């Protein structure tokens, strides 16, 4: 089994390719902002705010002007919660999947080697440990508690989110990001069972 760097805080990145790169290096919840999409995505902002207030968040964006704007917006979302900014170096070049370089001609997070990303984490004071990949909460787990894929799932998600004192108007995908940022699978299962006992519903 692949050994990964375990981070207790969720990691915010710009795009899905950054997430793919980091998934091979770290064991953490990774949430892409979809670039400037974060400025209009109220649901994702609510998830980031809730996660930041619980454990803080780690932000890794490209070292260009767009990355700086996204960092500033995440700071605004998180308020007084702890943010650890991890900076990758400015390295000229382009990613393999792209036909032309970025506007500023530098590699983004997705173009960084594992060694560069690991060095950036340690230099920014992120405390890490080597670990086997942990059991993630999945949509199948949510389905087993009728929190997705069922006729009344939307209302049940709202009920469960209120039970754990979190924003209650989340889609199943947004809720999954939130749950993985807050709980282990065992912790989620324990709370879901208590929620069912409390509401008296299957």
SS3 (DSSP) at 71? helix
Phi, psi (deg, nearest 5) at residue 161: -65, -35
Mean pLDDT of 114-121: 90
Provide the whole-model pTM.
0.77
SS3 (DSSP) at 51? helix
Query: Could you give the percent of the chain with pLDDT greater than 90?
Result: 57
Q: How many angstroms separate the Cα of 39 from the Cα of each of 12, 22, 70, 119? A: 14, 23, 8, 30
Mean pLDDT of 167-178: 86
Q: In what helix (H) or strand (E) does residue 26 lie, and over which residues does it extend?
A: strand 26-27
């Amino acid at each position: 089994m692949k050994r990964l760097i375990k981070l207790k805080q969720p990691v915010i990145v710009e795009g899905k390719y950054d997430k793919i790169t980091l998934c091979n290096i770290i064991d953490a919840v990774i949430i892409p902002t979809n670039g400037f999409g974060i400025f209009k995505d109220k649901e994702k902002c609510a998830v980031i705010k809730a996660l930041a207030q619980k454990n803080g968040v780690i932000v890794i964006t490209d070292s260009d002007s767009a990355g700086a704007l996204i960092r500033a917006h995440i700071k605004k979302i998180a308020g007084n919660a702890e943010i650890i900014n991890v900076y990758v170096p400015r390295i000229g070049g382009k990613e393999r999947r792209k036909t032309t370089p970025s506007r500023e001609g530098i590699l983004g997070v997705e173009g960084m080697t594992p060694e560069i990303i690991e060095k950036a984490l340690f230099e920014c004071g992120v405390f890490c440990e080597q670990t086997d990949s942990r059991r993630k909460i999945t949509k199948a787990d949510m389905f087993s508690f009728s929190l997705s894929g069922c006729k009344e799932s939307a209302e049940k998600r709202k009920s469960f989110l209120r039970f754990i004192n979190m924003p209650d108007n989340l889609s199943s995908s947004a809720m999954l990001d939130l749950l993985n940022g807050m709980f282990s699978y065992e912790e989620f299962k324990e709370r879901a069972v208590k929620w069912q006992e409390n509401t008296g519903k299957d």
